[in-house]
C-alpha cells in the first residue's frame, strides 16, 4: 500500500508498534500499543501545517481507531480523513459509528479466504445505518473473486489509485 500512496503523492509514515515487525521483542499489550500509536500520532499532528489533513491508515490494529476517535472528539484533529481496511478481528463497528465526520473507504476482496466477504458487508451496513446526510462519505469497494488479490494483495489491484483518489 505504501507504493500506492506514494504514487498519489502522499507522504507515508509507518511504524511497528512494540512487539511487532522490527520493533523491540516484547509481548505487546493494548495499553503499550495505544501509547505507541498516541506518541506517533501526536508527533504527526505537531509536525503538520494546520491546513494539512492526515490520512490515517489502519491495518490489523484497532488502537488507531481509539487514537483517531479520541483525537477527533477532543478537537486535536477535527478534520482528519481516514482510509481503513476492516479485515481485523476487533469491534471496528463500535469505533466507526462514533466518528461519522471521518470520510471512510473500506476495501475488501471477495477472494479473501481469511475474512469472509459477508463480514465486510455486515460492517459496512452497520456503519452506513449509523450515518446521516450530514455525515462524511462512506465508500465500500469490493474486488472480484479470481483477481488474485485475496487477503493481503489489494495493494496490487490495477485500479487502486483511482479508488483511493
Question: For 14-63, how does the pLDDT look when each residue is reduced to its tens digit (9 = 90+)?
Answer: 777 777 777 777 777 767 777 787 788 788 878 877 777 666 655 544 43
Question: Which of 59-68, 121-130, 136-145, 153-162 has the least mean pLDDT?
Answer: 59-68
> CB neighbours of 100 closer than 8 A, spacing ≥ 6?
130, 131, 132, 135, 136
Is residue 158 in a domain?
yes
Is residue 32 in a domain?
no
Instruction: Give me the domain span that covers residue 145.
Output: 2-10+53-164
Question: In this predicted structure, what is the pLDDT of residue 123?
Answer: 87
Bridge partners of residue 57, in order along the sequence: 83
Is residue 160 in a domain?
yes
The position carrying cell 483525537 is 71
Question: In this predicted structure, what is the pLDDT of residue 91?
Answer: 64
% the chain with pLDDT above 70: 72
- Cβ atoms of residues 110 and 148 within 8 Å: no
Check which CATH number belongs to the domain holding 103 and give it: 3.40.50.1820
Measured CA to CA, the distance from residue 92 to residue 68 in angstroms comes to 12
pTM score of the predicted model: 0.60
Measured CA to CA, the distance from residue 130 to residue 97 in angstroms comes to 6
**Would you call 105 helix, strand, or coil by DSSP?**
strand
pLDDT of 126 above 80: yes
Is residue 24 in a domain?
no
Is residue 157 in a domain?
yes
- Cβ atoms of residues 64 and 99 within 8 Å: no
DSSP string, 8-47: TT------PPTTSTTS-SS---HHHHHHHHHHHHHHHHHH
pLDDT of 76 above 90: no
Domain count for the chain, please give it. 1
Is residue 63 in a domain?
yes
Amino acid at each position: 500500500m505504501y507504493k500506492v500512496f506514494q504514487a498519489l503523492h502522499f507522504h507515508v509514515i509507518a511504524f511497528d508498534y512494540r512487539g511487532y515487525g522490527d520493533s523491540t521483542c516484547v509481548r505487546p499489550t493494548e495499553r503499550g500499543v495505544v501509547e505507541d500509536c498516541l506518541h506517533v500520532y501526536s508527533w504527526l499532528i505537531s509536525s503538520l501545517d494546520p491546513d494539512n489533513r492526515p490520512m490515517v491508515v489502519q491495518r490489523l490494529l484497532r488502537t488507531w481507531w481509539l487514537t483517531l476517535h479520541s483525537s477527533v472528539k477532543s478537537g486535536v484533529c477535527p478534520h482528519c480523513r481516514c482510509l481503513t481496511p476492516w479485515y481485523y478481528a476487533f469491534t471496528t463497528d463500535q469505533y466507526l459509528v462514533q466518528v461519522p465526520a471521518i470520510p471512510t473507504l473500506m476495501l475488501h476482496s471477495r477472494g479473501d479466504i481469511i475474512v469472509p466477504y459477508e463480514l465486510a458487508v455486515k460492517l459496512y451496513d452497520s456503519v452506513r445505518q449509523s450515518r446521516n446526510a450530514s455525515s462524511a462519505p462512506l465508500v465500500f469497494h469490493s474486488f472480484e473473486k479470481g483477481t488474485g488479490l485475496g487477503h493481503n494483495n489489494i495493494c496490487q489491484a490495477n485500479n487502486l489509485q483511482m479508488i483511493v483518489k
